Amino acid sequence: MHGTLDVLRDIDAVRDRAYALPLDEFNPGDPALFRDDTHWPYFERLRAEEPVHYCRDSQFGPYWSITKYNDIMSVETNHAAFSSAAGLGGITIRDAGVDYRRPSFIAMDPPTHSAQRKTVAPMFTPTHMDALSDSIRARAGQVLDSLPRNETFDWVDRVSVELTTQMLAALFDFPWDERRKLTHWSDVATTIPLSPEHETKRQQELVECGDYFAKLFRERQNQPPKSDLLSMMAHSEATRDLDGANFLGNIILLIVGGNDTTRNSMSGGLYALNKFPAEYDKLRANHKLIDSMVPEIIRWQTPLAHMRRTATTDIEIGGKQIKKGDKVIMWYVSGNRDAEIIDRPDDFIIDRAKPRSLLSFGFGIHRCVGIRLAELQLKIVWEEIMKRFDRIEVVGEPTRPYSSFVKGYETLPVRIVG
């Protein structure tokens, strides 16, 4: 790791570049900014100087950036003027090629959105969460008890990926020994292809994912209804006869939603506690703070940096004229650092008075259907961590993916002390 002075010099240099660049040259969606964790001053400046910003040219084409909390909420709650439909471009800054657009209920508008979402919603009711708690706790205990002491290991692989993949396999009733396929397909689905050849290979792997799940789906259709996600879809009128693109779109949505958000929050929480050691001391002194720490982890980390909409009509936001057909990016990662809404937003504070002022899971009709499960997993994991370990040290900087959509960690080197 850099020494403290080196880190401060790096931060100052990044900030200087962000404030020297003319605003009309800003491309806040550049994945390199997120890979290098240098996006923060760009969004800070946009919130202060041009909270609704137009990027005329980028690797993703032209797009609008919405960077303030309340402006993001106004877009989120106006699904008539701002569409999620896959046919218009979907939910990410990167447009899928016309041949690869796969509708899912998050990439749809009402009424089709509502019918497909309702199919899987019973998985995430409070009653079902209670039923899942014991198995989540047992799996967390097994994984944590297997970790080495006083030696460096990768927290992402050994804990975050393993626990979220186990959870996904349980939700789908997926073959246990092949569960890491789920992690791989999630990464494939969200990666940004760097060449046409890479994109061709990526699409081939996603088709393989669809074929694998289609086989499981047919098996569930021929079995009595069960409580796993595939069986719910197989026996629901809204989802039992989906075409191939819509079926794969929903499968990818459920895999990515169940994998990336929880996985990156598990790593982000540990990273945050090490960056803010006084908060780690608070947690050691009072384990009950886990309840308010969980939403703070999700806010501070913001595991999905943005969601995209497409304007269906000419409309004004923040004094700017957005035209029908324009791409509009809601930057959750920026809204979650808006000082007009959140006190000391750059700080990680585990005992905030209002810990749920966050945009990480969206709002309105597209609010993440699995939010309760994500929070439950994080709560239980941290309860089990605090039972076992006094301190887990981050011993090197994490590596991050080349993505302005998934905001997470590829590796995080840590050591359990004592």
Mean pLDDT over the full length of the chain: 88
The whole-angstrom separation of Cα 66 and Cα 128 is 36
Residue 158 near residue 409, CB atoms below 8 Å? no
What pLDDT is attached to residue 190? 82
Q: Judge whether 367 lies within some domain.
A: yes
Average pLDDT over residues 65-90: 91
pLDDT of residue 345: 96
Q: By C-alpha distance, which of 60, 110, 133, 132 is closest to 308?
A: 60
Give the range among 283-292, 355-364, 390-399 with minimum mean pLDDT: 355-364
State the total domains in the chain.
Answer: 1
pLDDT at residue 175 tops 50: yes
Give yes or no for residue 74 having a pLDDT over 90. Answer: yes
Side-chain-facing half-sphere of 267: CA atoms under 13 Å: 30
Chain mean position to CA 67: 17
CA dist., res. 241 & res. 154, Å (int): 42
CATH assignment at residue 203: 1.10.630.10
- Measured CA to CA, the distance from residue 327 to residue 76 in angstroms comes to 14
208-212, 275-279, 364-368 — which is least confidently predicted? 364-368
Q: Which of residues 413 and 245 earns the better pLDDT score?
A: 413
Residue 153 lies in a domain: yes
Tell me the per-residue pLDDT of 297-320, one tens digit each, with 9 for 90 and over: 999 999 999 999 999 999 999 999
380 within 8 A of 164, measured Cβ to Cβ: no
pLDDT at position 181: 93
In this prediction, residues 185-209 reach a mean pLDDT of 85
Which residue range is the domain that position 121 belongs to? 45-417
Give the number of residues written for the chain.
418
Overall pTM > 0.95: no
Residue that the structure tokens 């439950």 belong to: 376
Question: What is the percentage of the chain residues whose pLDDT exceeds 90?
Answer: 62
Res. 1 pLDDT band, cuts 50 70 90: very low
Per-residue model confidence (pLDDT) at position 373: 81
Longest dimension (CA), the chain: 63
Q: Is residue 364 part of a domain?
A: yes
Q: How far apart are CA 98 and CA 272, in angstroms?
A: 40
In tens, the pLDDT along 21-42 reads 999 999 999 999 999 999 999 9
Q: Which residue has the higher pLDDT, 329 or 239?
A: 329
Confidence of residue 107 (pLDDT cuts 50, 70, 90): low
Give which of 80, 61, 97, 358 is closest to 203, Cα–Cα. Answer: 97
Report the pLDDT value the prediction gives residue 22, as an integer from 0 to 100. 95
Average pLDDT over residues 243-268: 84
Q: Say if strands 327-331 and 391-394 run parallel, antiparallel, or are unpaired.
A: unpaired
Has residue 4 got a pLDDT over 50? Answer: no
* Whether 398 contacts 410, CB under 8 Å: yes
* Rounded average pLDDT over 58-73: 96
Residue 3: inside a domain? no
Q: Is residue 33 part of a domain?
A: no
97 lies in a domain? Answer: yes
**What letter represents residue 136's amino acid?**
I
Would you state the structure tokens that stand for residue 43, as one six-digit string?
A: 């969004």
pLDDT in tens, 271-303: 999 999 999 999 999 999 999 999 999 999 999
Q: How confident is the model at residue 228 (pLDDT cuts 50, 70, 90)?
A: confident
Burial 164-195 (b: 16+ CB within 10 A, else e): bbbbbbbbbbbeeeebebbbebbbbbbbbeee
Residue 300 has a pLDDT of: 97
Residue 2 has pLDDT above 50, yes or no: no
Closest CA to 254 of 356, 123, 101, 99: 123
| DSSP assigned state of 156 | I
Q: Which of 47-51, 178-182, 216-220 has the highest mean pLDDT?
A: 47-51
**pLDDT of 334 over the 70 cut:** yes
For the four alpha carbons of 129, 139, 248 and 358, in that order, the dihedral sign comes to positive
**Residue at 37 is within a domain:** no
Q: Which amino acid is located at 140 in the chain?
A: A
Residue 53 has what pLDDT?
98
| pLDDT computed for residue 98 by the predictor | 43
For strands 63-66 and 327-331, give the pairing.
parallel
Q: Read off the pLDDT of each residue in 231-254 and give the average, rounded to a whole number.
A: 83
390: in domain: yes
